[in-house]
Amino acid sequence: MHHQKQMPTKTWKIKTSDGRFLSVEGGEVKLQQSAAENMLDWLFQPAEEHGRFYIKHATTGVTLVDTVNGGYDSWSVEDCFDGTAQLVSRGGLFRHFDNLIEQSQSIKQGFAEYYNWLIE
């Protein structure tokens, strides 16, 4: 990843392409439209394995864990051609599932799977 040297010293925001931020609330990883600025910050700390990071919420200290693919807690950050990135553990791709609300003439509600992230 092009930011790799800066990762351990800077906080980053992780968000979806539709502008929802990855955050922690009540000890759980969630998506939020907006929140207190400090609740959106994440630290990327180098893991033992080269090119992998522990991703920790800067305020709460909660570590991002791949609960779906085996409980791994270290991640590589893989750049995608569209400017987003994917977080990949030893078990696979980080996916976050959340309610999707589409604002149109009639409000549609469904379930969305997020796996491409903007890291800013």
**Using an 8 Å Cβ cutoff, are 36 and 66 in contact?**
no
| Arithmetic mean of pLDDT, 104-109 | 51
| Beta strand 85-88 pairing with 76-79 | antiparallel
Structure token digits, residue 51: 């090119």
pLDDT of residue 31: 86
Residue 39 reports pLDDT greater than 60: yes
Structure token digits, residue 82: 């569209």
Sorted by where each starts, the structural domains of the chain and their CATH numbers stand as 7-119 (2.80.10.50)
**pTM for this one?**
0.80
Give the pLDDT confidence of 10-33 residue by residue, as tens digits: 899 999 888 889 998 888 888 888
Structure confidence at residue 98 as a pLDDT band (50, 70, 90): confident
Q: How far apart, in whole angstroms, are the C-alpha atoms of residue 17 and residue 26?
A: 24
Q: How far apart, in whole angstroms, are the C-alpha atoms of residue 4 and residue 31?
A: 24
Structure token digits, residue 64: 């991002």
pLDDT of residue 109: 56
